[in-house]
Amino acid sequence: MWTLHQFPLCPFSRKVRILLAEKDVEFAMQLAYPWEKSDELMDLNRAGQTPVLSGERGGPLVDSTVIAEYFDETVQKSPLMGSGASARAEVRRLTIWFDQKCYAEAVNPLLLERMYKRLVLRQPPDARMLRVAGQALAQHLDYIEYLLGERRWLAGGSFSLADISAAAHLSVADYLGGLSFDGYPDAKTWYSTIKSRPSVRRLLPDRMEGLSPPQHYDKLDF
């Protein structure tokens, strides 16, 4: 069986968890905090990053999108990369958008200020950084609202890795208390639909030790 080396608030690990569940691939989970740089994690991935997927059939597989493409190529159920070159290009474009831009501008600063400073550095968050991250997050919700103005799902007519990636990042922002859908009704409906998928519902009960989410976090009606 595959083992996913992850921690509960790693958005890239959430992305892999959702996609493996969508594909009905069984996996076990092993807690790994990148900042601890454990020998086990470093031996699997010299970059010391999560997620890593190790398993008896080769691997380890490193990088959430590499893992996603591996399973999209090897498991037929629920294709997630789009069909045809143009559709695939759009899925990849938006997946990169959320994994790079949304993560760098909003989710990673929230993780630093609300999780890492609290649990590891034992410092208070920087209110200015939280405000800037909140503004960036609002811009990403605005972009989701715009995309959904003309599409059912983010990359087009089908649920895809782009939806999974965006939902993974937003769910971490939500856990950290940084998400408000006020003014973004289509984005809210989209997120609510995603939240009700079994693949996403399965990860919502998870908790990061020492850090609780807001009450609405795992509710379908939020």
Strand extents, DSSP E, 145-193: none
Nearest to 70 by CA among 51, 97, 85, 93: 51
Looking at 22-30, 59-67, 80-88, 136-144, which segment touches ligand GSH (CB under 6 A)? 59-67
* Interaction between residue 10 and ligand GSH (CB under 6 A): yes
Long-range contacts of 177-182 (CB under 8 A, 24+ apart): 177/114, 177/213, 177/214, 178/106, 178/110, 178/114, 178/130, 178/133, 178/134, 178/137, 179/137, 179/141, 180/138, 181/141
Q: Which of 4, 20, 54, 64 binds ligand GSH (CB under 6 A)?
A: 64
By CB atoms closer than 10 A (0-12, 13-18, 19+), residue 134 is middle
* Interaction between residue 125 and ligand GSH (CB under 6 A): no
Q: Which of 20, 21, 34, 175 binds ligand GSH (CB under 6 A)?
A: 34
Q: Which of 5, 22, 50, 168 binds ligand GSH (CB under 6 A)?
A: 50
* Interaction between residue 51 and ligand GSH (CB under 6 A): yes
Looking at 62-70, 75-83, 117-125, 206-214, which segment touches ligand GSH (CB under 6 A)? 62-70
* Interaction between residue 99 and ligand GSH (CB under 6 A): yes
* Interaction between residue 180 and ligand GSH (CB under 6 A): no
Q: List residues binding ligand GSH (CB under 6 A).
A: 10-12, 34, 48-51, 63-65, 99
